[in-house]
Amino acid sequence: MDRVKKFKQIILTHGFIKKEQKTSRKEIERAKSIRKIWRSKR
């Protein structure tokens, strides 16, 4: 909860179903790409 208090916004980029413990590199890169587009439009 402390980490959330440091930020003013939480951005939900996309959703996916995890079938493994580790998040795939593809999903991480997709989220980064969406975040980059979102930031450029602000």
Average pLDDT over residues 5-33: 83
Do 13 and 31 meet the contact criterion of CB atoms below 8 Å apart? yes
Please determine, for residue 4, whether its predicted confidence score (pLDDT) is greater than 70: no
Percent of the chain residues topping a pLDDT of 70? 83
Q: Residue 5 has what pLDDT?
A: 60
pLDDT at 6: 64
**Residue percentage of the chain with pLDDT more than 90:** 19
> Please, are residues 31 and 11 in contact by the beta-carbon 8 Å criterion?
no
Domain borders along the chain are: 12-40
Which pTM does this prediction carry? 0.60
Q: How far, rounded to the nearest angstrom, does the alpha carbon of residue 27 sit from its chain's CA centroid?
A: 9
